[in-house]
Amino acid sequence: MDAVSDDPATVATGKRLVVNPKYSPLLSPSGVLECATRYLIVTGGRGSGKSFALSLALTLAAREIGMRCLFTRWTMASAKDSILPEFREKIELLASADEFRVTANDITHVASGSTVMFRGIKTAAGNQTAKLKSLHGLNAWVLDEAEEMPDERTFETIDLSIRDRRGRDLVSLSLNPAHKRHWIYRRFFERRGIPAGFCGTRGDTTYIHTTFEDNLENLPASYQQRILDGLRGNPARFAHIWGGAWAEEVQGALWNYAMIADHRREREEMPDLERVLVAVDPNASSGPGADEAGIVVGGRGTDGHIYVLEDASGQMGPAEWARVACQKYEIHKADRIVAEKNQGGDMVTLTIQGYRPDVPVSLVNASRGKITRAEPVASLYSQGKVHHVGRFPELESEMMSYTGRPGSCSPNRLDALAWLVSALCEAGEDTASDGEMLGGCVV
C-alpha cells in the first residue's frame, strides 16, 4: 500500500492518505486526475475501497481550473443524504473546508471555480436524461453504481454530451459487477476480450479492479470476519459479492439473470398495492459465523403481481432482526410480519412483539426442503409475475447461485423471499405450513 498523495494539506493535519497503487491512474503525486483515456472502468467487490478512491480523486481534481464534472447515479433521491457525506469526508481529510462551497446538489472549489454536480438520472419526475445532456461545458462524467443503469441507450445519450473543446474528456463507470448479460460487461469486457480482474489500458479505456484483499488494512476485524463468513457454502456468491466477479449462470440454480432482470420495475411503474408484508427468516444466534437473518419486504399489486420492495437482511441477533423487521413494517406501512416458526417457535412472535406489541405476526412452518418450497416461487418469476423494484445484489446473487447441494450455506435471504411471495399469494392465515402456501397463485 503506497501513499499516492503528498498534498501539503494532508501533511498539515498529520494525516497521510494511503490509497492502493492500483488507483494510480486516478491519482498522481500532485493530486490530479491522471487517467489518459476517455473511459475509466472501476470495478470491485464490497469493501474494495473504490468509492473512497474515486471521491478522493474528484475532490483533489476540483482544485484544478476548468473541471466541470457530472456525478450521477441511476437513482439518487437526495445527494445530501446519499453521496455528499462521502465528499465532505474527503474535504475534512484534506483540511480544506474553507476551499469549497457545498450546496445540496453541488460542490465548487472557490479558487478554481471547478464544480462537481450531483444528479439522479431516474427521479420521481421521470427520466432526467434530456436535462442532463443539455448541461454545457461538461468535461467529466462519473456514473456511480453503474450496474443499476439498465440500458446502453441512456448511457450513450449522456456520453455524447461530454465534450469540452478546452481539454480532454473523461467518462468513468464505477460499479460492483452484475451479470455477464449486463450491457456494461458485453460492451467493455466481452467484445474487447478483457479478462476478469484486469488492470490496465486497452484502446480508449482504462480498467481498475480491486477486491477487499486490496483494502484489508482499512477494514475492521468484524467486517473481515463477515467476509470470511460469506465464503461458507456458496463460493459463487462469495466471488460475485466480495470478489467483484461478473456473475454467470449456475447449473442447478432455480433462478437465472433473465428471470429477474427482464421483469425489473421502477417505483413509478408499480400499480397500487393491495397488501404489503415483511417476511422474516430468523436466525437463532448472533456473532461471528452466525447465519444471516433474512428480511424481505414486498406487496401484491392490483394487477395480481408481486413486487419486491426491499432486502433488509444481514447478520444480526434476535433483538436486532426484530427491531429491523418492525422498522420496515412501519416504513412500508405493511399489513403484518410473516416469519418462519421453526427457528424458535412462538419465541419469534414474542421477540417481535417485545419490540413492538401492536405488530400482527403470522408464523409459517417449514415442512419441506428449501429447494422444494422455492420451486413454485421460481415458477412465478419465470412467468413474469414477480418484479424487483430496484436492484438487490446480495439477494439476487443468492437466488442465482443456490443449488441446495450438500454443504451449501443456509440461503436466508432466499428463504425470506419464498415466505414473502407465498404469503402474498395465499389467504393469510395466522399459522400455516409451507405445503399450504401459494394456494392463491397459478403456478
Task: Quick: pLDDT tens for 181-215.
Answer: 999 999 999 999 999 899 999 999 999 999 999 99
| d(C-alpha 164, C-alpha 321), whole Å | 51
pLDDT in tens, 268-326: 889 999 999 999 998 866 665 567 899 999 999 999 999 999 999 988 888 899 999 99
For every residue of 241-273, DSSP letters joined together read HTT-PPB---TT-S--HHHHHTT-B-GGG---E
CA 225, 227, 228, 232: dihedral to nearest 10 degrees?
Answer: 130
pLDDT tens per residue across span 423-442:
999 744 444 455 444 544 43
d(CA 253, CA 152): 28
Nearest to 286 by CA among 339, 245, 343: 343
Q: Which three cell numbers stand for residue 110?
A: 472557490
Domains present along the chain, CATH in parentheses: 8-218 (3.40.50.300), 257-436 (3.30.420.240)
pLDDT surpasses 80 at 18 = no
Reported as a single tens digit per residue, the pLDDT across 28-71 is 655 567 788 999 999 999 999 999 999 999 998 898 888 899 99
CB burial of residue 133 (10 Å; 0-12, 13-18, 19+): middle
